[in-house]
Amino acid sequence: MSPAITDSPPPTAPAPAAGDGWALFLDIDGTLLEHHRDPTGVVVDQDLRDLLTRLDRRLGGAVAVISGRSLASIDTLFQPMRLRAGGLFGIEMRLSPADPAVAAPEPPALAALAARAHAEFGHVRSIVIERKGPVLAIHTGPAPGTLDEVTRLAKAALPGLPPGYRIVEGNVGVELMPAQALKGDAVGRFMATEPFKGRRPIFIGDDVPDEHAFESVHRLGGVAVKVGRPEQATAAPYALADVAAVRAWLGDPQFPLLDRLARQEGRPLPATETPPRLSRMAGLM
């Protein structure tokens, strides 16, 4: 089902007096870090670690990443940091940095499909097959025609997978995942616990699975921000151009995060201001 496009900003609430009124949820690939053909080839720079540390302190710990990566992959990527995180689109949850990363198992039928995908596409350099327990990702990259071939294989295999499995066609490939793999549900679980409880959520993401989280934060009176791809339909009424804009906006020392959002919801920022600012999605009234 195509995500609904809203024609107005999220419901306006009285702006809190301090940063502890907000809860921040961040996608990783395509939002905090550029997409890479092979997800294992991504490297986190120290500037990003420092940025997340500052945000965590500013918001009293109400910062979490929610990603298609597993918790183990997130930990490897950001080590030595341990983040509050929803891995595998929320299948694996770590509500506190002190909690262990418990891996979800891979169903035998999905393992068989992964082997079949390797046999069929292993020779194609642009295709990367990523086994993530109960989630199978087939990254196609920009090679023409490969996405159609991979989608065909996934659709043919879907009836043989456990009940509830679905195909999500993203910006750089397809993923097969169970019904409970929903980023918006992960947001809801975080928002029911401290230090997120009672705050107003912000979700920033760039891809199709993030749309469920956008809709979730709308229902919670929050703010959804889409990164890049302005031509795509989205439930997010706000936009940032790319990864660099996201990191600059989050890290701008001159304008506190909450002030930037409160002002944007009230009126457009003056054109003379130079820091990256949220823009309205194309086509919104």
Distance CA 169, CA 198 (A): 34
Distance CA 182, CA 249 (A): 26
SS3 of residue 266 by DSSP: helix
Distance CA 224, CA 10 (A): 8
Using an 8 Å Cβ cutoff, are 278 and 260 in contact? yes
| DSSP for 105-167, written as a single string | PPPHHHHHHHHHHHHHHTT-TT-EEEEETTEEEEE-TT-TTHHHHHHHHHHHHGGGSPTT-EE
Distance CA 184, CA 44 (A): 25
The reply to whether 47 belongs to the active site is no
Q: Which of 7, 20, 27, 242 is catalytic?
A: 27
| Residues classed as catalytic | 27
